[in-house]
Amino acid sequence: MKSDRRAPVAIIGAGFSGTMVAAHLARRGLASVIIEASDRAGQGTAFSTGDPAHLLNIPAGNMSAWPERPADFAERHGDPRGFAQRRHFGAYLRSILDEALATGKVELLNRRATGAERDGPAWRIQLDGGDLIVADALVLATGNQPPAALAFAAEADERLVANPWGPRASSAIRDAAERHLDIMILGAGLTMIDVVLSLDSAGHQGRMLALSRRGLLPRSHQAHEPAPLEWKEIPAGSARNLLHWLRKRSGAVGWRAAVDSIRPHSQRLWQSLGADQQRLFLRHARPWWDVHRHRIAPEVAAKLAGLIASGRLQVAAGRIAGVRPADDGLEVQVRKRGQDQASAESFGYLFNCTGPLGEIGRTADPLIRSLLDEGLARPDHLGIGLSVDDASRAGERLWALGALTKGRYWEIIAVPDIRDQAALVAQDIATELGQ
The answer to whether domain 4-145+357-432 and domain 153-219+296-352 are alike in fold is: yes
Cα dist. 199→157, 161, 192, 312 in Å? 21, 14, 11, 11
* 46 vs 165: CA distance, rounded Å: 9
Does residue 35 sit in helix, strand or coil?
A: strand
Q: Please give the distance of CA 261 from its chain centroid, rounded to a whole number.
A: 23
At 353-386, the pLDDT tens digits run: 999 989 999 999 999 999 999 999 999 999 999 9
At 263-303, the pLDDT tens digits run: 999 999 999 999 999 999 999 999 999 999 999 999 999 99
pLDDT in the model for residue 344: 95
Predicted confidence band at 1 (pLDDT cuts at 50, 70, 90)?
very low
Topology of the domain covering 4-145+357-432: FAD/NAD(P)-binding domain (3.50.50)
**pLDDT at residue 140 greater than cutoff 50:** yes
Alpha helices in 213-343 (DSSP H): 239-253, 255-261, 266-280, 286-293, 298-310
Predicted confidence band at 154 (pLDDT cuts at 50, 70, 90)?
confident
Pairing relation of β-strands 132-140 and 122-127? antiparallel
Provide the 10 A C-beta neighbour count for residue 17: 31
The hierarchical CATH code for the domain 153-219+296-352 is 3.50.50.60
At 186-231, the pLDDT tens digits run: 999 999 999 999 999 999 999 999 999 999 999 999 999 999 999 9
Q: Is the pTM of this model over 0.75?
A: yes
- DSSP per-residue string spanning 12-30: E--SHHHHHHHHHHHHTT-
Domain spans of the chain?
Answer: 4-145+357-432, 153-219+296-352, 231-293
What's the whole-number average pLDDT of the chain? Answer: 95
